[in-house]
Amino acid sequence: MQSMTAALSPGLYAEVKKSDTHLAITQLTKRFGDFTALKQIDLEIQEGEFVCFLGPSGCGKTTLLRAIAGLAPQSSGKIIQRGCDVSTLPPQERDFGIVFQSYALFPNLTVYGNIAYGLRNRREDRHCIRARVTELLALVDLAGSESKYPAALSGGQQQRVALARALATEPSLLLLDEPLSALDARVRVNLRGQMKALQRRLGVTTIMVTHDQEEALTMADRIVVMNHGVIEQIGTPEEVYRQPVSEFVATFVGSMNFLDAVPEGSSGLRLGSQCLKCLPHGLDDSPRARLAVRPEDVALTPCTTGLSATVQGIEFLGAFLRVRLHLDDSDQPLLADVSARDAESVALAVNGRVGISLPAAAIRLYPASEVAS
């Protein structure tokens, strides 16, 4: 599959300042009867940003996207787009293009007809329509496919047609509702890279809903992590992964070990009988806490003084080995992701014993009450 790198006409997307706010959402609440799906959402999205709404099913991410589009109007709160209050406008009067999970292509229209649909509704000149459709087909690497019907296309090709249709009317905001979830893994990986490259090239402000953390981490400029109708954290992919602000974020984004520990001072803890340094935690007065550390941050050493563990299992995962450990002193399980070279250096073997090193910068502490057992 080729990359989407076709040249664009100068008028397709005007230059914008990335420091400008494209969308400002204030105290947005959405109720369905007695159920509150969104609770006082505050969010700003900048011009040209690629933002992912990430969270499990039922967290409110799709409801928030639909509220922005006017497809599920909010119960209260405001939505300001480029300085204009669009809170009460119907969808057809808002400036956005949308791509659905199911593609939603018209089966009785050709590729050309699908992409041209919005332009024809706006009564554009037919020569302008043909030029725009031709341009967009080249942009999504489907030149020569204009006479085909959706049924004759692969899933990835159908999704690219849906993307071209959404871009046809030059919207300032592109909304993507789990656009890749129906595709197989290989096509999904290829297409997400192409979509991100296309978004950067166009500079169109984009919001994508996904439950796939890898998708969000690889595509987003910022991630909005949602849970039970509220925003848990907003940050860059690195911030969300490396500095999760809550147990939910730490658990949902990536793999995470949780261990019972006792806070000691403002930047220390006791794990079993061992004292360790960690990032400042503000839990000085708590009798107990939960230590969180990523498996890839767990280092194995040949020395079994200090923290030590027994190897209970080794799983080969291609680029690394996932090692199931049992901490000798604190009687707790621990996962470590290590390279084959590191495994050889400690003579890693099931039932063998290894030393454990937990870097202070990689350890986070959460209140014990926050973390589910």
Burial class (CB in 10 A: 0-12, 13-18, 19+), 363: buried
For 185, other C-beta atoms within 10 Å of its C-beta total 8
Mark whether 111 and 57 lie in a shared domain.
Answer: yes
> Over the chain, what is the mean pLDDT?
91
Tell whether 10 is covered by a domain: no
Picking from 69, 71, 65, the residue whose alpha carbon sits closest to that of residue 51 is 65
SS3 percent helix, strand, coil of the chain, rounded to 5, is 30, 30, 40
Question: Of 247, 270, 299, which closes a domain?
Answer: 247
Kindly give, in sequence order, each residue whose CB lies less than 8 Å from that of residue 31, ignoring residues fewer than 6 positions away: 37, 75
Residue 188 confidence (pLDDT): 86
Mark whether 76 and 198 lie in a shared domain.
Answer: yes
Q: What is the CATH number of the domain that holds 201?
A: 3.40.50.300
Tokens 């400042």 found at: 280
Listed range (124-138, 185-199, 301-315) with the worst mean pLDDT: 185-199
Which tens digit of pLDDT belongs to each residue from 332-363?
A: 999 999 999 999 999 999 999 999 999 999 99
Mark whether 243 and 259 lie in a shared domain.
Answer: no
Rg of the chain, C-alpha, whole Å: 25
**15, pLDDT greater than 80:** no
Tell whether 8 is covered by a domain: no
Sign of CA dihedral 117, 118, 119, 121: positive
Tell whether 9 is covered by a domain: no
Residue 4 confidence (pLDDT): 52
Question: Of 192, 213, 247, which closes a domain?
Answer: 247
**pTM for the whole structure:** 0.88
Residue 5 confidence (pLDDT): 43
- Most confident range (mean pLDDT) of 38-47, 98-107, 177-186 is 38-47
**13, pLDDT greater than 80:** no
Strands 84-85 vs 76-81: parallel, antiparallel or unpaired: antiparallel
Burial class (CB in 10 A: 0-12, 13-18, 19+), 66: buried
Mark whether 202 and 303 lie in a shared domain.
Answer: no
Give me 341's structure tokens: 């070279």
Residue 303 confidence (pLDDT): 86
Residue 276 confidence (pLDDT): 93
**86, pLDDT greater than 90:** yes
**pLDDT exceeding 70 applies to what percent of the chain?**
94
Mark whether 217 and 302 lie in a shared domain.
Answer: no
Q: What angle do CA 120, 121, 123 make, to 5 degrees?
A: 60
Mark whether 107 and 194 lie in a shared domain.
Answer: yes
Question: Of 195, 212, 247, which closes a domain?
Answer: 247
Q: What is the CATH number of the domain that holds 318?
A: 2.40.50.100
Tell whether 12 is covered by a domain: no
Query: CA–CA separation, 132 vs 12, rounded Å?
Result: 9
Residue 128 confidence (pLDDT): 93
Mean pLDDT to the nearest integer, 41-66? 97
Backbone angles phi, psi at 253, to 5 degrees: -100, 105
Number of domains in the chain: 2
Mark whether 289 and 335 lie in a shared domain.
Answer: yes
Q: Is 97 helix (H, G, I), strand (E, B) or coil?
A: strand
Which tens digit of pLDDT belongs to each residue from 16-36?
A: 455 599 999 999 999 999 999
Residue 8 confidence (pLDDT): 45
Mark whether 92 and 227 lie in a shared domain.
Answer: yes
Mark whether 268 and 226 lie in a shared domain.
Answer: no
Mark whether 266 and 241 lie in a shared domain.
Answer: no
Mark whether 177 and 293 lie in a shared domain.
Answer: no
Question: By the 8 A CB rule, do 219 and 190 touch?
Answer: no
Residue 370 confidence (pLDDT): 52
Tell whether 196 is covered by a domain: yes
Tell whether 14 is covered by a domain: no
Tell whether 141 is covered by a domain: yes
Backbone region of residue 363 per phi and psi (left: phi > 0; alpha: psi in -120 to 50; beta: other values) = beta
Q: For helices 111-121 and 126-139, give the axis angle rounded to 10 degrees.
A: 130
Which tens digit of pLDDT belongs to each residue from 156-196?
A: 999 999 999 999 999 999 999 998 887 888 888 888 888 99
More confident residue, 130 or 368: 130
Mark whether 37 and 145 lie in a shared domain.
Answer: yes
Residue type, 86: V
Determine the structural domain holding residue 167 and report its residue range. Answer: 21-247
Give me 349's structure tokens: 């073997």
pLDDT band at 133 (very low <50, low <70, confident <90, very high): very high
**pLDDT exceeding 90 applies to what percent of the chain?**
78
Report how far apart, in Å, the C-alpha atoms of 131 and of each of 42, 119, 134, 168, 174 are. 40, 11, 5, 11, 21
What residues does 334 pair with on adjacent strands?
Answer: 325
Mean pLDDT to the nearest integer, 118-139? 92
Picking from 299, 59, 79, the residue whose alpha carbon sits closest to that of residue 178 is 59
Query: CA–CA separation, 142 vs 144, rounded Å?
Result: 6
Residue 17 confidence (pLDDT): 52
Residue 306 confidence (pLDDT): 84
Q: For helices 126-139 and 155-167, give the axis angle rounded to 10 degrees.
A: 130
Give me 363's structure tokens: 């350890």
Mean pLDDT to the nearest integer, 105-113? 95
Tell whether 144 is covered by a domain: yes
**2, pLDDT greater than 50:** no
